[in-house]
Amino acid sequence: MNQHLPPSIEDIERLAEAAWTSLPEAVRAACGGLAIRVEDFASDEILADLGIEDPFELTGLYDGLSLTGRSHFDQPVAPDIVWLFRRPILDEWIERGDIDLFDLVRHVLVHEIAHHLGWSDEDIMTVDDWTA
> DSSP characters for 54-123?
-GGG-SEEEES--GGG--TT---SS--EEEEEHHHHHHHHHHH-SS-HHHHHHHHHHHHHHHHTT--HHH
Predicted confidence (pLDDT) per residue in 14-34, tens digit = 999 999 999 888 888 888 788
Best CATH choice for the domain 9-66+77-125 from the list 3.20.20.140, 3.30.2010.20, 3.40.190.10, 3.40.50.300: 3.30.2010.20
The phi and psi torsions of 117 (rounded to 5 degrees) equal -80, -5
The confidence score (pLDDT) of residue 37 equals 96
Nearest to 118 by CA among 77, 73, 80: 80
pLDDT band at 129 (very low <50, low <70, confident <90, very high): very low
Domain ranges of the chain: 9-66+77-125
Model confidence, pTM: 0.81
d(CA 100, CA 130): 17
Top pLDDT among 9 and 67 is at 9
